[in-house]
Structure 1
């Protein structure tokens, strides 16, 4: 699937299987989401550019690689995106953070925005947008619309699960934004949930359902 990278590392797939189980507790789900997000972050940042810098080890002076350019921005789509955000910040603690408040109207399935806060210079940074689910794609599309309005141009989208319908909608709206996911599931049901999926990620993270 053009523009979609499926992260099929065995540890990712193992943890995802446990998260899918309806018997997995809220505490375990939250812990697994944090663990798997670190692995996903490793993959979505695999091709970051490096520059060489002179340093001194305890034994000698060498040229060693460091990340080039300005720090990353992790953009969390509230509220479930924060579950991925925490693990990614464990790996890249210097990243800037944006928060985008969007929720899905359960009747229309449309995205309703209620909050947006991002670093002012997103135009100069790689922005990695995170949300566990790419279902209809409406929330993700609306979030990236807002980031582009602020000048962001180098954007990637990272999720746990995606539905084919959501991928199609997303790519029609933002063909320039690559998608990274651990799985492309079968389809959406009549309520807009990913099947087989794992339920509502936010509710399972916070025990609200």
Structure 2
């Protein structure tokens, strides 16, 4: 085999060294590259996280528009302390004496809401007459049998009671007084599955009662 001329030996040696250097790197450099790649692959992709308030409720920002009547009713109900006695809208029905001499017996449909409002439909039976509707705010008086006092719509924070009832149970109200007339006999109003009367008062935006 012919020998390589001496003048080409340094060139061949330099080329061989370049190939060896290009094909390898130090162990520390290779470890750094591998670690960085692994961290990039393991890093989680950022996800959208809603804002939470204490208690597990999502905070939803409200716009600048005025609150709806439904929102106002819900806020008044939340603030009112009457909701403990009447936790939801209830309607009671019963036949009781009339407050005036125009009749002797009337059928009363009484609706109470947790926000402190009430509405009553009075239908004279003896003698028969036209139904009358009135409304206002009610307040409670604690006790073994809590009292519910119906106050007139105007000046509901003071003045004579329209009527007073004692709560025998959540389903039964005993009539204590009608206006200035105290009843000596037992008359009751019993709870009814009357969603129509309850909804009608809930949707009435003509008046609200102050939170207590």
- Using structure 1 for the length normalisation, give the TM-score: 0.24
TM-score w.r.t. length of structure 2:
0.24
Answer 1 or 2: which has greater helix percent.
1
Decide which structure has the larger Cα Rg and report it: 2
Higher RCO structure, 1 or 2 (CA under 8 Å, sep 6+): 1
